[in-house]
């Protein structure tokens, strides 16, 4: 089998199974594991998969769209469903972290007037969305502005966020995997999210199902740090069994 044919086969298996392993591919394609390893390295360098120990898993579909303004309209109906579910987890007078995820932004736009909350964020769109909600106190962490992601980032942002201890962190997701935890393709964004996880009593992941089973380079936290995963689908899907077995709630 030619190299191009092997690469196509590996990508097809990734699409169907969400994971490929060196041993299984070696046996299936009748080539050495070293050959498969080099094939996976080629795909990884071209941004077509994420190389992991013993094989590969898919990249998040999110990494091909970096600008907030381009991401915010993607999968709008699914994000609305997720935000509606997340609203049921919010208690009056809570202090909440909302990050730069577009699903976090959707949640901010749907918070009802009359629900008293304190929202801490480094997302400029989230802060703007809450300006007309009189029952929500907003704290925006200052710092250098990323115009692409429309957030504040850097040392000053991190220092500000380290001063808070909150009830719950609703985090938008780039990638989520039962072995590799929550990961992101952006280093500075990952650093901010890591602080938010550390400073929160509960972590609730807001994610469409296409990001589950994917991974990126920069780790934010272990999957065991997540209390609840909120998605657009029914929680009875086999996809969620592994996470339920780890004690994570699925909504």
Q: Which domains does the chain have, with CATH numbers?
A: 3-58 (1.10.10.10), 68-250 (3.40.50.1360)
Enter the pTM of the model. Answer: 0.80
- Distance between CA 38 and CA 243 in Å, rounded? 31
Q: Of 195 and 217, which is predicted with more confidence?
A: 195
Per-residue model confidence (pLDDT) at position 62: 60
pLDDT tens for 198-229 read 999 999 999 998 888 888 888 999 999 999 99
Confidence at residue 85, expressed as pLDDT on a 0 to 100 scale = 96
pLDDT cut 90: percent of the chain above it: 53
Mean pLDDT, rounded, for 177-202: 92
pLDDT of residue 245: 93
User: Mean of the pLDDT values across residues 134-148?
Assistant: 93
Query: What tokens appear for 121 in the block?
Result: 């964020």
More confident residue, 249 or 15: 249
Average pLDDT of the chain to the nearest whole number = 89
Mean pLDDT of 243-248: 94
pLDDT digits 0-9 by tens, 226-245:
999 999 987 778 888 889 99
Mean predicted confidence (pLDDT) in 123-132: 95
Predicted pLDDT at 63: 58
Region 13-42 average pLDDT: 84
Segment 9-32 shows an average pLDDT of: 83
Question: Residue 195: pLDDT band by 50, 70, 90 thresholds?
Answer: very high
């Amino acid at each position: 089998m030619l190299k191009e044919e092997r690469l196509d086969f590996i990508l097809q298996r990734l699409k169907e199974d969400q994971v490929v392993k060196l041993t299984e591919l070696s046996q299936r394609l009748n080539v050495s594991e070293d050959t498969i390893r080099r094939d996976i390295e080629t795909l990884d360098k071209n941004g077509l998969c994420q190389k992991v120990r013993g094989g590969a898993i898919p990249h998040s579909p999110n990494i091909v769209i970096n600008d907030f303004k381009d991401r915010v309209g993607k999968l709008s109906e699914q994000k609305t469903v997720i935000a509606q579910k997340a609203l049921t987890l919010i208690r009056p007078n809570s202090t909440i972290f909302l990050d730069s995820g577009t699903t976090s932004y959707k949640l901010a736009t749907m918070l009802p007037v009359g629900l008293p909350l304190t929202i801490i964020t480094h997302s400029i769109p989230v802060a703007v969305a809450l300006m007309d909600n009189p029952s929500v106190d907003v704290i925006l962490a200052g710092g250098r502005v990323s115009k692409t992601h429309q957030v504040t980032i850097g040392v000053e942002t991190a220092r500000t966020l380290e001063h808070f201890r909150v009830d719950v962190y609703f985090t938008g997701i780039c990638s989520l995997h039962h072995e590799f935890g929550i990961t992101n393709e952006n280093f500075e964004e990952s650093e901010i999210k890591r602080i938010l996880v550390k400073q929160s009593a509960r972590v609730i992941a807001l994610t469409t199902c296409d990001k589950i089973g994917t991974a990126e380079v920069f780790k934010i936290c272990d999957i065991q740090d997540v209390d609840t995963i909120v998605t657009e689908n029914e929680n009875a899907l086999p996809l969620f069994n592994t996470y339920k077995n780890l004690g994570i709630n699925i909504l």
